[in-house]
Amino acid sequence: MISENSQSLSKITKDILNENGIKLNRNLGQNYLIDKNKRDQIIDFGNITKDDVVLEIGTGIGTLTIELAKRAKKVIAIEQDSNICEILAKRLEKENIDNVELINDDALKVDFAPFNKIISNLPYQISSPITFKFLDYDFDLAILMYQKEFAQRMNGEVGSKNYSRLSAMLYFKCDVEKMTDVSCESFIPKPQIDSTVVKLTPKENTIAEDDFKTYSKFTKALFQHRNKKIRNALIDSRHVISNIDKKVLKKRLNAIEDEKLIDYLKKRVVVLTPEEIMFISKNLYPLFEE
């Protein structure tokens, strides 16, 4: 049940939306947090100081933005909806907040200015691509809210139903820690499932950039067919890795003499650890050269 404090955030949110004639679209991931306790908890997880530059994706009317700005050196706030962005701009002006760089654009298409922390209630429909985009940047930590099922796949164990391309990609890049669940009752409009707040802490980079790019291609190709054998998955999704002809690739795979690689090719994608996928990608990539 939402507390009295949360009800005030709920009322503020509804009043702002009503005053501006805004009807939220659930299909666009416009689920606004109205639970003040959860909002404050999310911000506290970030341990924000006046040295921090915080990136926020999908600001909405500023439920997180305004409070983040009070603690941080600067907030880089990206909101795609121009009407919502205008509402937030007016709120920031009314609150005399001048340390927010408000960007009205698609977060998937813009280059991010330097930042060191990410705090966001992410639009659910871009959860996967925006998370992969974060991996291209250096940051200290990220506190991110996802749909619960998506968050479970971020830490999926090898062989489990939650083991995915997402799990494998994050494995080498970040430690993933579940912080708290957030009930669907804490949002308007109410989403169909609960959410989970996750903390991402980047790992020390011990993998060469080119090796990780190759690993990324193989991971994407393999997990399009997670229950197939490695050999068949690579043949069926060869286009993800290169433009090699199917017959040429089959011939090269058949010519492999390394027993370890031959054994891997017979296994199903879902049972391979990230380290094993890395081994395969580094050793088989030359076969995909045209």
- Asked if residue 5 has pLDDT above 70, the reply is no
CATH match of 4-202 with 3.40.50.150: yes
User: What pLDDT sits at residue 206?
Assistant: 77
φ/ψ of 84, rounded to 5, equals -65, -40
Confidence of residue 43 (pLDDT cuts 50, 70, 90): very high
What pTM, to 2 d.p., does this model score? Answer: 0.90
Q: What are the sequence ranges of the domains in the chain?
A: 4-202, 209-288
- Token pair in block for residue 18: 């009503």
83 pLDDT above the threshold of 60: yes
Q: Of residues 199 and 7, which shows the higher confidence score?
A: 199
Residue 24's pLDDT band (boundaries 50, 70, 90)? confident
- What pLDDT does residue 28 have? 66
Q: Is the bond into 189 cis (omega within 30 degrees of 0)? A: yes
How is residue 98 written in tokens? Answer: 């001048």
pLDDT the model gives residue 2: 40
Counting residues of the chain whose pLDDT is more than 90, the rounded percentage is: 83
DSSP 188-246: ESPPSS-EEEEEEEEPP--S-HHHHHHHHHHHHHHGGGTTSBHHHHHHHTHHHH----H
Mean pLDDT of the chain: 93
User: Could you report the per-residue pLDDT of 169-182, keeping only the tens digit for each?
Assistant: 999 999 999 999 99
Give me the sign of the Cα torsion angle 61, 67, 72, 73: positive
Kindly state the average pLDDT of the residues 258-274: 96
Q: What is the average per-residue pLDDT within 28-57?
A: 93
What Cα–Cα distance (Å) separates residue 207 from each residue in 139, 203, 204, 265? Answer: 17, 11, 9, 23
SS3 56: strand
Runs of H (alpha helix) within the chain: 4-19, 36-45, 65-71, 82-94, 127-134, 148-154, 165-171, 209-222, 230-236, 238-241, 246-254, 259-265, 274-284
Question: Does the pLDDT of residue 3 top 50, yes or no?
Answer: no
User: Which residues touch 1 (CB under 8 Å, ≥6 apart)?
Assistant: 185
Q: What pLDDT sits at residue 79?
A: 95
User: Domain 209-288: which CATH class?
Assistant: mainly alpha
d(CA 196, CA 120): 12
Q: What is the mean pLDDT of residues 6-12?
A: 76
pLDDT tens-digit map of 96-147 = 999 999 999 999 999 999 999 999 999 989 999 999 999 999 999 999 999 9
Whole-angstrom distance, CA of residue 93 vs CA of residue 62: 12
Reported confidence tier of residue 148, pLDDT bands at 50, 70, 90: very high
From the list 245, 201, 243, 240, the residue with the least C-alpha distance to 224 is: 240
**What length does the chain have?**
290
266 φ/ψ angles, rounded to the nearest 5 degrees:
-90, -15
Q: Find where tokens 């031959």 sit.
A: 262
| CB-based contacts of 117, cutoff 8 Å, min separation 6 | 46, 48, 52, 53, 54, 55, 72, 139, 140, 141, 142, 143
Predicted local confidence at residue 76, as pLDDT: 98
Of the candidates 98, 101, 127, 97, the one whose C-alpha atom is nearest the C-alpha of residue 114 is 101
Pairwise CA distance, residues 126 & 129, whole Å: 6
